[in-house]
Amino acid sequence: MPGRTHRPVLLREALDALACRAGGLWVDGTAGAGGHAEAILHATAPAGRLVAIDRDADAVEAARRRLEAFGERAILRHADFRQLPLLLDEIGARTVSGILLDLGISSLQLDDPGRGFSFREDGPLDMRMDRSQTATAADLVNTLPEDRLASILKDFGEEPRARPIARAIVRARGQAPIRTTRSLADLVASVLPRRGPVRIHPATRAFQALRIAVNDELEGLSRLLEQAVGRLEPGGRIVVIAFHSLEDRLVKRTLRGLTRRCVCPRDLPVCACGRPGLVRLITSRPVRPSASEVRDNPRSRSARLRAAERLGATPGRAEDPAEARA
Ligand SMILES: C[S@@+](CC[C@H](N)C(=O)[O-])C[C@H]1O[C@@H](n2cnc3c(N)ncnc32)[C@H](O)[C@@H]1O
Per-residue pLDDT averaged across 137-162, rounded? Answer: 97
Strand partners, 54: 78
Confidence of residue 314 (pLDDT cuts 50, 70, 90): very low
pLDDT (0 to 100) of residue 268 = 86
**How many Cβ atoms from other residues are within 10 Å of residue 39's Cβ?**
19
Q: Mean pLDDT across the stretch 137-145?
A: 98
Candidate from 54, 80, 212 with most ligand 1 atoms within 8 A of CB, to mutate: 54
Neighbouring C-alpha atoms within 13 Å toward the C-beta of 274: 0
**What's the whole-number mean pLDDT along residues 116-138?**
96
Q: Is there a contact between 221 and 238 (Cβ–Cβ < 8 Å)?
A: no
Q: What's the rounded Cα separation, in Å, for the pair 116 and 77?
A: 24
The alpha carbon of 81 and the centre of ligand 1 are apart by a number of angstroms equal to 9
Ligand 1 pocket by Cβ (under 6 Å): 6, 8, 29-30, 32-36, 53-56, 59, 80-82, 102, 104-106, 129
Q: How far apart are CA 257 and CA 17, in angstroms?
A: 19
User: In CATH, what class is 11-104+218-325?
Assistant: alpha beta
pLDDT in tens, 152-169: 999 999 999 999 999 999
One-letter amino acid at 78 equals H
CB-CB contact of 265 with 126 (8 Å):
no
Centre of ligand 1 from the C-alpha of residue 193, in Å: 34
Q: Please report the DSSP string for 74-114 in residue order.
A: EEEEES-GGGHHHHHHHTT-S-EEEEEEE-S--HHHHT-GG
| Edge-to-edge strands, sheet with 49-54 | 74-78, 49-54, 25-28, 96-102, 232-242, 304-310, 279-281
Q: Given ligand 1 and candidates 5, 28, 55, which is best to mutate, with the most ligand atoms within 8 Å of its CB?
A: 55
Mean pLDDT, the chain, integer: 92
* Cα 105 to ligand 1 centre (Å): 6
Amino acid at 28: D
> Mean pLDDT over residues 95-103, rounded?
98
| Phi, psi for residue 25 in degrees, rounded to 5 | -120, 125
Distance 124 CA to ligand 1 centre (A): 21
Superfamily of domain 114-215: Putative methyltransferase TM0872, insert domain (1.10.150.170)
Closest CA to 288 of 264, 306, 300, 304: 304
User: What's the farthest any 2 CA atoms get from each other in the chain?
Assistant: 64
Residues 66-95 have pLDDT tens digits of: 999 999 999 999 999 999 999 999 999 999
pLDDT: is 316 or 196 the higher one? 196
- Report d(CA 149, CA 141) in Å as an integer: 7
Q: Which residues pair with 52 in a beta bridge?
A: 28, 76
Q: Read off the pLDDT band of 310 (50, 70, 90).
A: very high
Q: Place 321 in a pLDDT band, splitting at 50, 70 and 90.
A: low
Rg of the chain over CA atoms, in angstroms? Answer: 21
**Domain range summary for the chain, segments of one domain joined by +:** 11-104+218-325, 114-215
